[in-house]
Amino acid sequence: MTVDDTESGVHRRFDLLQGEWVLVSPHRDRRPWQGQVEVPEPLLSTHDPDCHLCPGNRRANGARNPDYAGVFVFDNDFPALLDGAPEVSAAAGMFRSEPVRGRCRVLCYSPRHDQSLARLGESGLSAVVAAWQRETIDLGARWRWVQCFENRGASMGCSSPHPHGQIWTMDALPTLVRREREQQRQYLDEWGRGLLLDVVAAEAEAGTRVVIDDRDWLVVVPYWARWPFETLILPRRPMPGLAWMGDAEAASLAGVLGDLFRAYDNLFRCAFPYSFGWHGLPGARQSDVAGWQLHGHCYPPLLRSAGIRKFMVGFEMLAEAQRDITPETAAARLRAARGPHWQTTTDTR
């Protein structure tokens, strides 16, 4: 089956990075929808006196934020992982457990409450890219895994509209990361080449799933995407993690991210929700490096409009992931949505 005749045919695609099948049912986004409709994000002011993340404001634990001007990084006041002596010991057998340590940080992208990756502009985005790189290198000296990520929008469980992401570290490899490491290792053993470098070459040649074709980066809706408008951000050269990225690549990444997140916002003319994050090695541990290539995953839930999202429930929870439009259609729609942010012409702030 070629890519072109998949629009009408139900089929499965294999996710080489996670080692899982994805069911593709292209016709299914035409089914009637009388279910939940997402509420649009409200218009935001540049500063919100009640926001825990705005400059000069008090956080939930009473600490006061500095009057910061660029990015601002602090230790999460409600961390999911703790850096102290473990309070539990390992247990073997049926009910297996192990202690885990880590540190959680919060990264505010901008002092402006109404900003977002889509609207930061290149200098603002460059500061965010530099912060991801700096934090990863600093934290990577101590921790086995450093996870930079962002949940954007109330529908993704984001707790505050202030533009921010999070950084969690762990002294173990998280489950999904371990799986991707095994897949990349296996591919290297079998083919003698890096999986994601081969994906870059194949996607660039096919072109149908490419969203942004930059000199240093390629953004695609991956062949095996689960979420309707899911994208994968890939460096064009071997690059195990953010620490390996050069200045020119960091600058082009800032441009690429602005381009991508504007396209998302433009697609349904809304503050497009998503979970986004980097999978990159924090340091040069030899055993982890084999075949590993840095990549960014963007998982946005919206399907048909600003109000109608894809739910990963039922069959997806019990059997396997299923998508409703083809990755090729999604990529074409994202390509068409690229350009200036839809609010730049109507925004008078």
Applying CB under 6 A, does 78 fall inside the site for ligand H2U?
yes
Number of residues that make up the chain: 349
Nearer to ligand H2U, 60 or 318 (CB): 60
CA 277 to CA 275: how far, in whole Å? Answer: 7
Q: Which stretch binds ligand H2U (CB under 6 A): 16-24, 151-159, 276-284, 314-322?
A: 151-159
Applying CB under 6 A, does 166 fall inside the site for ligand H2U?
yes
Residue 155 binding target from ligand H2U, Zn ion, none, CB below 5 to 8 Å by type: none
- Cα–Cα distance list, 69 to 55, 212, 254, 319 (Å): 8, 31, 19, 48
Binding to Zn ion (CB under 5 A) within 162-181 occurs at 162
Query: Is the CB of residue 282 less than 8 Å from the CB of residue 145?
Result: yes
> Tokens for 332?
């074409």
Please tell me whether residue 178 adopts helix, strand or coil conformation.
helix
Nearer to ligand H2U, 187 or 264 (CB): 264
| Mask for 107-146, x = binds ligand H2U (CB under 6 A) | ----------------------------------------
Residue 162 binding target from Zn ion, ligand H2U, none, CB below 5 to 8 Å by type: Zn ion
Applying CB under 6 A, does 106 fall inside the site for ligand H2U?
yes
Q: Closest separation between CB of residue 119 and Zn ion, Å?
A: 14
Radius of gyration of the chain (CA): 20
CA 130 to CA 134: how far, in whole Å? Answer: 6
Q: Closest separation between CB of residue 102 and ligand H2U, Å?
A: 13
Q: What is the dihedral of CA 281, 286, 291, 295, to 10 degrees?
A: 10
52 is catalytic: no
Q: Closest separation between CB of residue 1 and ligand H2U, Å?
A: 39
Q: Closest separation between CB of residue 230 and ligand H2U, Å?
A: 19
Q: What is the DSSP letter of 309?
A: B
CA 163 to CA 203: how far, in whole Å? Answer: 31
Q: For the chain, how far is it from start to end, CA to CA, in angstroms?
A: 51
- Cα–Cα distance list, 298 to 35, 138, 150, 264 (Å): 25, 24, 9, 10
Residue 151 binding target from ligand H2U, Zn ion, none, CB below 5 to 8 Å by type: ligand H2U
Nearer to Zn ion, 110 or 293 (CB): 110
Nearer to ligand H2U, 113 or 181 (CB): 113
- Cα–Cα distance list, 231 to 59, 87, 184, 299 (Å): 33, 39, 18, 7
Instruction: Please pick, among 52, 113, 162, 164, the residue that the annotation labels catalytic.
Output: 164
Applying CB under 5 A, does 54 fall inside the site for Zn ion?
yes
Total number of residues that touch Zn ion (CB under 5 A): 6
Query: Is the CB of residue 211 less than 8 Å from the CB of residue 260?
Result: yes
Q: Which one of residues 155, 160, 305, 343 is an interface residue with ligand H2U (CB under 6 A)?
A: 160
The letter for the amino acid at 117 is: L
Binding to ligand H2U (CB under 6 A) within 52-71 occurs at 52, 59-60
Of 285, 317, 308, the residue nearest 31 (C-alpha): 308
Active site residues: 164
